[in-house]
Amino acid sequence: MCGIVGYIGNNKDIALGLEALKRLEYRGYDSAGIAAYDEATGTIVFAKAVGKIENLERKLAGSSIGGSPILLHTRWATHGEATEENAHPHADCKGNIFLVHNGIIENYAQLKQKLAERGHTFASETDTEVLPHLIEHFFRGNLEEAVRKALSLVKGSYAVAVIAKEDPGKIVAARLSSPLVLSVNGSGGFVASDPAALLAHSNKVVFLDDEEVAVVRQDGFSVSDLKNNLKEKEVTELEWSLEEAQKGGYEHFMLKEIMEQPESIANALRGRLLLEEGKARLGGVEHLREKLRQVKRMNILAMGTALYAGRVGEYMLEEYAGIPCEVDSASEFRYRKPVLDEHTASLFVSQSGETADTLAALKEVKDKGGLALGIVNAVGSSIARGTDAGVYNHAGSEIGVASTKAFTSQLTVLALLALFLGRQRDLSLVIGQCIAKELSRLPELVAKTLESAPQVEEMAKKYKGKENFLYIGRKYSYPIAMEGALKLKEISYIHAEGYGAGEMKHGPIALIDENFPTVALCPSDSVYEKMVSSVQEIKARRGPVIAIATEGNKEIGQLADDVLYIPKTLEMLTPVLSVIPLQLFAYYMGVLRGHNVDMPRNLAKSVTVE
């Protein structure tokens, strides 16, 4: 959510910063801005625009704005509407301090009142604007010292980058519960809210931790805490390449990422299957092997799509590892009084590893001394660093806001974890071998499932005018029904609800008529007959039905109006296949209805505020 880019170096052309900022467009935003130090005049010049970065570029055309250091930002409105006044960067009263910010300042009203009493005037409705004024209050010629003093009074979350005309040879950056990364190389010094902005210049980055302050110059950097104690920081070499962030000939990133799933799942499995032993090798949790053997209960905590992956994982872990699980929205978990003991593990699932609510739940678990595990895609992310152990997805960068390949890689890793923990307990060699073998076939089965894309597109043309959908499933397919409904809502803006099929008679069936289609997940599994009964109830009320069924099932074709087939696999792995036609259906519905499927309205890729 929101994007930060900062640069200091010999290149005074603002095109460098604008290109980096464009790589963060997937995060969702409604305005953009720039501020640059002009060495010739000794001033900081700036510009802002509502809407896309191209609007900012049009405003900058023919202007003399340029210089170094430079700050750029894309804002997603929280406090105050999307206006130029509310866009970042924000400045102090004197035009000395300029700042960009991601996060929320919870005590901004109190700070604003005190600053106003001291003569400060404000130009925006934002919480952010108190920060440059607060830094101005403490500024005595040293920018980092003023930033430290200001942030010590702040409550909430922040990733900030700050420049000052009276201390121009640096960018000062700091974070608390919102991601920030820096890199210094031959091109100069960089700061960004996401490594994707920096990959054109370097894949060697430094991730800031909470309450750390970095001073970035064109030839080096230093990091300290809020009390000015120096910190040693590790340089992380990212595996992602700039090419991964390109569309590769596809019309949209979302379609590209759907089609990449055979590869992303293969990457999640690579080196982790022991076929003959029927086991999984997970290096990220190996050092806790004996402690994990003692786990008797698991909390799975996540948000959004990752939460639905966790609900599939609940079935896997209970059925094959024999570990009772409770799945909860991370946003609700922190407001309960969770019971944690030495035999309880908490598993945090997040694509970005920076999800604010999930991070807050992680802090709650760590504060109570609980064992914290993670499944994340982003190397070096806050959740990856904050958990005791974890497993990376290795799905590669995911640019489309609606998660696709990250979701199926999460399901794959959860299956590996169930196999790992199950074989520690009572899962037999034979069943372990069966699971491992079928996991090894997943990339091939996913590739086969993707061959149905033209059929799904034709089906979307048939249903594109519908405004309501019901998605139903049971057991492993229940979370996939919710995920399928979520995808349709995100991408096509069509109202859709995901339900357990057993709930039909308890209310949702009242909605069914000839204009209310149902997507029924009917793989040939242990609850297939139950699903057929639900489909018959819907058809008795003239409701159109799209069925997702296992290849070879002719019976369902006699009931459903349309059928999409998936290959046969183990029941526990069916979700990996059955979600793919739902992803494609949402994609084509969004495209046919004229929407920007890569950047759906009001949404952001990484939700870094509550």
- For the chain, the structural domain boundaries read 3-238, 245-449, 453-592
pLDDT of residue 372: 95
Instruction: Please work out, in degrees rounded to the nearest 5, the angle formed at the alpha carbon of residue 54 by the alpha carbons of 130 and 254.
Output: 95
Under the banding of pLDDT at 50, 70 and 90, the label for residue 355 is confident
CA 464 from centre of chain: 28
538-549: per-residue pLDDT in tens?
998 999 999 999
Whether residue 171 contacts residue 216, with contact meaning beta carbons closer than 8 Å, is answered with yes
What torsion, rounded to 10 degrees, do the Cα atoms 314, 319, 321, 327 define? Answer: 10
Q: Which residues are catalytic, by number?
A: 2, 605
Mean pLDDT for the chain overall: 92
pLDDT at residue 140 tops 90:
yes
Under the banding of pLDDT at 50, 70 and 90, the label for residue 179 is confident
What torsion, rounded to 10 degrees, do the Cα atoms 336, 339, 342, 347 define? Answer: -40
Side chain identity, residue 601: R
Distance CA 456, CA 465 (A): 15
List of residues 6+ apart from 504 with CB closer than 8 A: 472, 534, 537, 538
Whether residue 112 contacts residue 118, with contact meaning beta carbons closer than 8 Å, is answered with no
Look at residues 163, 237, 164 and name the one whose alpha carbon lies nearest to residue 202: 237
The mean per-residue pLDDT over the stretch 271-280 comes to 94
pLDDT of residue 143: 98
Q: Which CATH number applies to 245-449: 3.30.750.200, 3.90.550.10, 3.40.50.10420, 3.40.50.10490?
A: 3.40.50.10490
Under the banding of pLDDT at 50, 70 and 90, the label for residue 76 is confident
pLDDT of residue 242: 64
375-423: per-residue pLDDT in tens?
998 877 889 889 999 999 988 778 888 999 999 999 999 999 999 999 9
pLDDT of residue 248: 63
Whether residue 262 contacts residue 443, with contact meaning beta carbons closer than 8 Å, is answered with yes
Under the banding of pLDDT at 50, 70 and 90, the label for residue 270 is confident
pLDDT at residue 152 tops 60:
yes
Least confident range from 114-118, 178-182, 277-281: namely 178-182
Under the banding of pLDDT at 50, 70 and 90, the label for residue 353 is confident
pLDDT at residue 331 tops 60:
yes
Whether residue 301 contacts residue 336, with contact meaning beta carbons closer than 8 Å, is answered with no
pLDDT of residue 352: 86
Distance CA 369, CA 196 (A): 34
Output the DSSP codes for 36-63. Answer: EEETTTTEEEEEEEESSHHHHHHHHTT-
547 by DSSP, 3-state: which?
A: strand
pLDDT of residue 133: 98
Q: In angstroms, what CA-CA distances link 129 with 45, 88, 126, 147?
A: 17, 9, 6, 14
Distance CA 163, CA 70 (A): 8
Instruction: Determine the topology of domain 453-592 in CATH.
Output: Rossmann fold (3.40.50)
Under the banding of pLDDT at 50, 70 and 90, the label for residue 250 is confident
Distance CA 523, CA 506 (A): 23
Q: Report domain 3-238's class.
A: alpha beta
Token representation of residue 542 = 């003239």
559-582: per-residue pLDDT in tens?
999 999 999 999 999 999 999 999
Under the banding of pLDDT at 50, 70 and 90, the label for residue 27 is low
pLDDT of residue 255: 95
pLDDT of residue 325: 96
The answer to whether the 3-238 and 453-592 domains have the same CATH topology is no
pLDDT of residue 178: 84
The mean per-residue pLDDT over the stretch 275-279 comes to 96
Q: What's the DSSP call for residue 246? A: S
pLDDT at residue 204 tops 80:
yes
Under the banding of pLDDT at 50, 70 and 90, the label for residue 507 is confident
Whether residue 297 contacts residue 344, with contact meaning beta carbons closer than 8 Å, is answered with yes
Under the banding of pLDDT at 50, 70 and 90, the label for residue 157 is confident
pLDDT of residue 483: 97
Distance CA 450, CA 448 (A): 5
65 by DSSP, 3-state: which?
A: coil
Least confident range from 26-30, 305-309, 358-362, 464-468: namely 26-30
Q: Around Cβ 223, how many Cβ atoms within 10 Å?
A: 19
Q: Regarding predicted confidence, which is higher, 604 or 448?
A: 448
Least confident range from 248-252, 323-327, 427-431, 588-592: namely 248-252
579 by DSSP, 3-state: which?
A: helix
Whether residue 564 contacts residue 536, with contact meaning beta carbons closer than 8 Å, is answered with no
The mean per-residue pLDDT over the stretch 228-255 comes to 81
Question: What percent of the chain lies above the pLDDT cut of 70?
Answer: 97
Q: Which helix (H) or strand (E) holds 217?
A: strand 212-217
